[in-house]
């Protein structure tokens, strides 16, 4: 058996991980993939020629390059429990989707684009986790179809959101309710912190876990940004802090949607 280690500079979130997984699923003989998103590295345990693997990775245009290839024995790696990973990812998915419903509802009630945008970011996370879970064991074409539908759905919602932000910048709109903004964002921050704690507690070497940690860490930053926007709305008595943070988060969601669309190619 061989172990090939690749440096992949453009691999920095679950979208790229799923993209790589689906590409390599087409190759027989791969025993295990170990992702190190933080350091942009991928270790592949396989019995096939690494030239085929290298060609598949290079076709993704993520800057993949082979840095090491050596012979290993079966004792050099250990498969993790897919059952425990699935349960953990289901938990994170449910939390994210629940807060998508909560935030998009309270966002419209409070007239806050920041909350609406954050809700779509939660939906984007749930879609990535759901794609990984739902597609396990299914054909590659089905995985690609789900990725395409998910990406276009998020892109459409984020595009509509950006147009609404522009409309509110130009038009006369009521100030958002900073109390709801801050209160719901604090709850979302707690929820994402719980997700991050669960993912870190797993101490998994699989990047379904590691990538999810990075994704959730980004969510914590976004939640904090919406809380800050709520405080600035209170202090300035202006709608603009909410609209600015909303626009930023919508752009983040659009960037994530394009990454997910890569999975369908």
Which token pair is 56? 């598949």
**Band of residue 229 on the pLDDT scale cut at 50, 70, 90:** very high
- Strand pairing class (65-71; 41-46): unpaired
**Band of residue 207 on the pLDDT scale cut at 50, 70, 90:** very low
Residue 180 contacts residue 112 (beta carbons within 8 Å): yes
Query: HSE of 20 in the Cβ direction (CA atoms, 13 Å)?
Result: 35
For residues 180 and 188, give the distance between their C-alpha atoms in angstroms, rounded to a whole number.
Answer: 12
Strand, coil or helix: 38 = coil
Question: Which residue ranges form the domains of the chain, and what is each CATH number?
Answer: 2-76 (3.30.70.100), 82-262 (no CATH)
Backbone φ, ψ for residue 44 (5° rounding): -120, 125
Query: HSE of 26 in the Cβ direction (CA atoms, 13 Å)?
Result: 14
CA distance readout (Å), 35 to 6, 19, 229, 255: 10, 12, 35, 22
User: 110-169 pLDDT, tens per residue?
Assistant: 999 889 888 888 887 777 667 666 655 555 555 566 667 777 877 888 888 888 888 888
For residues 180 and 205, give the distance between their C-alpha atoms in angstroms, rounded to a whole number.
Answer: 38
Residue 17 contacts residue 62 (beta carbons within 8 Å): no
Strand, coil or helix: 174 = coil
Cβ within 8 Å of residue 76, ≥6 positions away: 3, 45
For residues 148 and 101, give the distance between their C-alpha atoms in angstroms, rounded to a whole number.
Answer: 22
User: 38-73 pLDDT, tens per residue?
Assistant: 788 888 888 866 778 888 888 888 889 989 888 887
pTM strictly above 0.85: no
Which token pair is 44? 């592949």
Out of 21-25, 221-225, 232-236, give the one with best mean pLDDT.
232-236
For residues 122 and 222, give the distance between their C-alpha atoms in angstroms, rounded to a whole number.
Answer: 10
């Amino acid at each position: 058996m061989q172990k090939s280690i690749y440096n992949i500079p453009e691999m920095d979130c679950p979208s790229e991980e799923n993209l790589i997984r689906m590409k390599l699923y087409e190759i027989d003989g791969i025993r295990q993939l170990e992702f190190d998103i933080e350091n942009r590295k991928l270790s592949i345990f396989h019995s096939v020629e690494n030239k085929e693997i290298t060609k598949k990775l290079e076709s993704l245009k993520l800057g993949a390059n082979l840095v090491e290839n050596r012979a290993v024995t079966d004792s050099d790696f250990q498969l993790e429990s897919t059952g425990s990973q699935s349960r953990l990812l289901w938990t994170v998915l449910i939390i994210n989707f629940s807060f998508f419903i909560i935030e998009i509802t309270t966002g419209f009630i409070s007239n806050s684009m920041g909350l609406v945008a954050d809700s779509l970011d939660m939906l984007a996370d749930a879609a990535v986790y759901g794609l990984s879970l739902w597609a396990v064991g299914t054909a590659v074409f089905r995985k690609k179809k789900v990725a395409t539908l998910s990406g276009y759905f998020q892109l459409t919602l984020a595009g509509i959101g950006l147009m609404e932000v522009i409309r509110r910048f130009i038009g006369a709109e009521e100030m958002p309710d900073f109390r709801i903004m801050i209160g719901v964002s604090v709850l979302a921050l707690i929820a994402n912190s719980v997700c991050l704690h669960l993912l870190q507690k797993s101490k998994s070497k699989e990047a379904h876990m590691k990538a999810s940690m990075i994704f959730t860490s980004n969510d914590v930053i976004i939640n904090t940004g919406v809380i800050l926007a709520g405080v600035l709305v209170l202090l300035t008595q202006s709608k603009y802090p909410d609209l600015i943070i909303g626009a930023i988060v919508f752009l983040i969601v659009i960037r994530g949607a394009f990454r997910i669309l890569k999975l369908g190619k």
